[in-house]
Amino acid sequence: AQKVTQAQTEISVVEKEDVTLDCVYETRDTTYYLFWYKQPPSGELVFLIRRNSFDEQNEISGRYSWNFQKSTSSFNFTITASQVVDSAVYFCALSEVGNYGGATNKLIFGTGTLLAVQP
Amino acid sequence: GAGVSQSPRYKVTKRGQDVALRCDPISGHVSLYWYRQALGQGPEFLTYFNYEAQQDKSGLPNDRFSAERPEGSISTLTIQRTEQRDSAMYRCASSFEQGSYEQYFGPGTRLTVT
């Protein structure tokens, strides 16, 4: 069965510290997609990134970076020089390939990591 | 452009009543999804549509839950004979097409069953 584990329930850092959020997944599929979503205190779910199982290159977007390692089934998310606005719950999710090759079937979410960035 | 919208944003109902939750996806989005999110948990899949066809309803907890999308745009999730355990945030998401990947979520409907 597919599963996503976010072992860190809560993390608290001081502004400007770097922080890494861990995500470990389980799947029997050879093709799959991984996602990160952000849920700020206002409650909406904001898409951050999608990565397919064939692309193990790390990705950087501004202060955000993602480290995908198939060997350890992990897709970790690092925020560099954290800011108060980064305070949110972060969800990692996994999707199997749909009938048409896109990851449009159900997303399986982890339980989330609450990140609190103190000023 | 406008994102996914859901109504009502908050719904309080008495046990045993039926409720209908509405989702209006991003214009032109083919795929529409319903999730339920309990407090402190990640969203859990309920059902999904491509156009008007319900492709997967494996996540619906029981036959009190149903969903439709008759014209391939707006969708309604209906819960009959509500129970207290149905209290949760109900989220809708849409994606552009079957070959597309990102699901964009609406603000959710907070359902409280008293």
A33 contacts B56? CB cut-off 8 A: no
Residue A53 confidence (pLDDT): 87
State whether residue A109 is helix, strand or coil: strand
Statement: residue A113 has pLDDT above 70: yes
Interface residues on B facing A, Cβ-Cβ cutoff 8 A: 31, 33, 35, 40-45, 48, 50, 55-56, 58-59, 89, 91, 93, 95, 97-105, 107-108
Residue B111, pLDDT score: 98
pLDDT of residue A40: 94
DSSP, res B103: P
Kindly write down the DSSP assignment for every residue of A30-98, as one continuous string: SSEEEEEEEE-TT---EEEEEEETT----EEETTEEEEEEGGGTEEEEEESS--GGG-EEEEEEEEE--
Among the partner residues B42, B98, B100, nearest to A111 by beta-carbon distance: B42
pLDDT over 70 at A102, yes or no: no
Q: Which of B58, B102, B109 is the best mutation test for A, with the most CBs of A within 10 A?
A: B102
Residue A72 φ/ψ, nearest 5 degrees = -115, 10
Q: Which residues of chain B have pLDDT under 70?
A: 1, 98-101
Contact B40 A111 (CB under 8 A): yes
Contact state of B95 with A104 under an 8 Å Cβ cutoff: yes
Express as a percent the part of chain A with pLDDT over 70: 93
Determine the residue of chain B that is closest to A49 in CA distance: B102
- Check if A31 contacts B (Cβ < 8 Å): no
User: Quick one: pLDDT at residue A60?
Assistant: 85
At residue A95 the predicted structure's pLDDT band, cuts being 50, 70 and 90, is: confident
Which among A113, A114, A71, A95 is positioned nearest to B102, based on CA atoms?
A: A95
- Mark yes or no for CB contact A45/B31 under 8 Å: no
Phi/psi region, residue A40 (left: phi>0; alpha: psi -120 to 50; beta: rest), is: beta
B41 CA: distance to closest CA in chain A (Å) = 5
Using CA of residue A103, residue A109, residue A110, residue A113, what is the dihedral sign?
positive
Task: Match 């998401």 to its residue by tokens.
Answer: B93
Question: Which tens digit of pLDDT belongs to each residue from B52-71?
Answer: 999 889 999 999 999 999 99
Band (pLDDT 50/70/90 cuts) for residue A23 is very high
User: Each residue of A68-77: b (16+ CB within 10 Å) or e?
Assistant: beeeebbbbb
Residue that wins the pLDDT comparison between B74 and A50: B74
